[in-house]
Amino acid sequence: MKNRRLLPVVTSLLIAASVPLAHAEALDPANPLARPSTLPLQYPPFDQIRNEHFQPAIEAGMAEQLVEIDAITANPDAPSFGNTVLALEQSGDLFERALTVFSNLNATNTNPEMQKIQQAIAPKLAAHRDAIFLNPKLFARVKAVAESPAAKVLDGESAQLLARTLAQFTRAGAGLDEAQKTRLRELNGQLSKLTTQFQQNVRASTKDGAVVVNDATELAGFSGSQIAAAAEAAKTRGLDGKYLITLQNTTLQPGLQQLKNRALRERLYRASVARSTSGPNDNRPVVAEIVKLRAERAKLLGYPNHAAWVLEDETAGSVEAVNRMLAELAPAATANAAREAAEIQKLIDTQEKAAGRKPFKLAPWDWPFYAEQVRAATYDFSDDDVRPYFEITNVLEKGVFFAAEKLYGITFKRRTDLPLYHPDTRVYDVFDRDGTQLGLFTADNYARDSKQGGAWMNSYVVQSSLTGLKPVVANHLNVPKPSGDQPTLLSFDEVTTIFHEFGHAAHGLFANAKYPSLSGTAVPRDFVEYPSQYNEMWGRDPAVLANFARHYQTGQPLPQALLDKVLAAARFNQGFKTTEYLASAILDQRWHQLEAGKTPDADGVLAFEAAALKSAGVALPTVDPRYHTQYFSHVFSGGYAAGYYAYIWSDVLARDTESWMKRHGGLDRANGDFLRAKVLSRGRSADVLTLFRAFYGTEPDIAPLLEHRGLELPKAKPAKAAATSR
């Protein structure tokens, strides 16, 4: 069964459930999802697809795939790789096509009707998954293939597909007895509904939590274009004459860095952390039930907790390995954050005393504002100094695309003949080094109410030599759109995000696998972030910066002195950034390492979070987790449950790769081709750490990561000498 990786996956649609799947009626041939698109590379016909097309196509696809599964299990011939594993891999085309388009559009351009469809089909989708992976006849055939002499002579990629297929069945509970399977279906059904509810609660509370400002003077610190954008955002909600600061998905909001009004900063912060803690969108009872049911399911499947079940299938391999890494990094991060806090407090004290006021104590809503001042004083520049040099189209086309061309020989050409799901998107042909078409790439950069928060990559079509398909991928950001014809000017952090997401896109575009379920980004969670985090290095590369960092009005390059300051500041605030990330990663593990019967109720959710952070040593009064539990979509609705640690695990590999690139000459075609051949093209066609070692030459090394972040691990205390008698 194909396992296409979406970033982030709308996993509330993919988690198993127990609702019986009714046989779908024949799909109307006029439904544009009924057959593969006739557009280039099967790019979706967005101009033809309507809300009413999704559910019938998905349900018909599920029914069609079950017929295909029945044909596999009824085959009188002895089980073989071809008539069982390959047949399963080739099943479900209609289902995959319809679900992929729906899932992607529901994340990028949703509406109330689509959200109702999501709620309606989530349990049906989950029941469909159970119907496949809990099918005893199908499991028996897969096991028979794995135990046959023929399995030992399969080519490497086919052997990997067989191993992955068998693992999917066993991990899904195929070996349970019928009574256990019945309970598993019940658990899966409830979880499917709950994760969907969590996602929709976050989306609603994020929209409702937007901060209304009555007077533009309160927005001191914002640029003219930002104030105009806030006025436009208010107008779209019927608040003419007012200003609206919409919320992003993270705890700290972008506006906190610029707003001079401390009371407004506090309002914005409190609106962010209050999301989904009360009212109709309260996620505390949802979290309590999700954690409870996941723990019970893990026990039923034979694991001590949900994290153990997840991590068995990741490169980390175990709970112990992840706990060890997080525990090693936390003291270094918090020590740095404490030093940074002291420096910020010193600045606050100085400024307030100079103004004749009593100094106030640094609070979380103050950190971004004063940290920016510390950075400006230390490195003598601010975001406002560099934004004019980072116009968004230049960053993408003369930065991201330029680096990709120099490294890999690929080129891009914008096309305007394909339908768009939203007018703010852009589509590009991607041509390989020999001039043939490699794939299609969509850039969707702007925030909107119909779009989930954050930044991610997804695939509409997955590469496969078996199907003959080439990749169609998309990158999504949430950059505030300026009003009118004002330019979109980015902070350096936003520049880094664009490069990061294109690393995911490159992983999908360079895919060269035979089987769809092993192609592109269909790799472990703690490996999938590696290519994206590695690609961030090119946004800091002097040769790449020289090509795209030009003033949007004059075309003049970013002055070398200012560029030097930007690069020197790369390690700034890393104690804070690493601590807020680690706090969330630790929270994720603490929630999912709970045993069945030992999870808190709804009233205890926030208390459990506080205790978990304190016991891990990351409960700093001035540094919140990047995501508090009640809006931590990555792990409660986004596919990263017990896997949020993956970002820093992958960053070890990324910084190793950056170090390797620098040692071998940097932005060089031979380097790019080598990485592409050894890692980026391979997907999960082999063990991913084996692929990394083939590129890097040795085991992963944490030292480049620590150097990159300016962190030092605490030195081990010398062992006490053994007592001796005289």
Through-space distance between the first and last CA atoms of the chain, rounded to whole angstroms = 73
Torsion of CA 97, 100, 102, 106, to 10 degrees: -170
Contact partners, residue 592, CB within 8 Å, separation at least 6: 291, 294, 305, 306, 307, 310, 635, 641, 642
- 289 as an active site residue: the answer is no
Structure tokens at 302: 């034979």
Helix residue ranges, H only, 134-277: 136-147, 156-171, 178-208, 224-236, 262-273
Does 136 sit behind a cis peptide bond, omega within 30 degrees of 0 on the bond before it? no
Beta bridge partners of 243: 213
Is the CB of residue 26 less than 8 Å from the CB of residue 34? no
Question: Contact, 316 vs 585, CB < 8 A?
Answer: no
Distance from C-alpha of 75 to C-alpha of 83, rounded to nearest angstrom: 8
Question: Are 255 and 224 a contacting pair, CB within 8 Å?
Answer: no
Choose, from 64, 89, 340, 501, the residue flagged as catalytic: 501
For residues 648 and 589, the answer to whether their CB atoms sit within 8 Å is no
Contact 16, 185 (CB under 8 A): yes
CB 330 within 8 A of CB 612: no
H helices then E strands: how many in the chain? 28, 7
CA distance linking residue 443 with residue 498, whole number of Å: 10
Instruction: Report the DSSP pairing between strands 437-446 and 472-479.
Output: parallel
CA 455 to chain centre: 7
CB contact set of 600 (below 8 Å; sequence gap of 6+): 288, 291, 607, 608
The rounded distance, in Å, linking the Cα atoms of 547 and 292 is 52
Alpha helix positions (H), 258-303: 262-273, 284-300
Contact residues for 404 (Cβ-Cβ < 8 A; gap 6+): 410, 412, 502, 506
Q: Which position has the token pair 């919409």? A: 246
Using left for φ > 0, alpha for ψ between -120 and 50, and beta otherwise, residue 375 falls in alpha
Q: Which residues are catalytic?
A: 501
